[in-house]
Amino acid sequence: MKILFVSAVILLFANVAQAKLPALLEKVQAEYMKSAGIEAKFEQITDVKATKQKKKAQGRIWIKRPNKLRWETINPDPNILISDGKTFWFYTPPFEKGERGQVMIKKTAQVQTQFLNALLSGSFDFGKMNIAIAPKAANVFILRPKEGTAGDVQTAEVTINQANNQIERVYIVHSSGNETEIKLQEIKLTSSLDEKLFKYTPDRNTDKIVE
């Protein structure tokens, strides 16, 4: 199930396109761009259609524009996903005392582009291609990337809290039929984020898998 979780996260990182923004999204972007990035609590549900299973997770995220990320899952299975924009680490701690942890190391370009980073950090600048953005409700918008430009992301539904112009929910539908929902709480738009958050150094009790 850990593999399913990290795969769902990775698949969310996909290039989509630029479109003229609705007024509310312009307000959101203007507000977020005043900060260096965000930190928040998250709740995620990944619905895997093939197995009819739902994977739930809770933790904290830190995103520093344009491409730095720390995604720290606390419950139910602790793990940490980190990117400094060049290197991607996915660390799984040992299950039992005396066992070894494991970290998967890749080039960030192999697994991550800017979609989810940008979206959760309030930027809707997705590149030069067209993307359809349509209102579903006064504070809910559907982003539909051109087929083949966003991995297996079919649509992204974004919900805005109009009281503070913050993104409180992102709901992804994948072409595979899988669905991923991310809810954000205690969002902080911060003026600075420590660079140490976006680096990982394995210790001697951690096995490294470099791909």
Identify the CATH number of the domain in which residue 157 sits. Answer: 2.50.20.10
pLDDT digits (tens, 9 = 90+) for 2-20: 544 454 554 444 333 344 7
Q: CA 96, CA 103: separation in Å to the nearest integer?
A: 16
Q: Which residues of the chain have pLDDT under 50?
A: 3-5, 7, 10-19
Please state the pTM of the whole predicted model: 0.84
Q: CA 131, CA 160: separation in Å to the nearest integer?
A: 19
Residue with tokens 């996260």: 9
Q: CA 80, CA 146: separation in Å to the nearest integer?
A: 31
Predicted pLDDT at 147:
77
* Helix residue spans in 33-186 (DSSP H): 108-111, 115-120
Compute the residue count for the chain: 211
Instruction: Write out the residue range of the structural domain in which residue 118 sits.
Output: 2-210
Q: In the chain, how many domains are there?
A: 1
185 neighbors 78 (Cβ within 8 angstroms): no
Predicted pLDDT at 117:
77
Q: CA 155, CA 143: separation in Å to the nearest integer?
A: 6
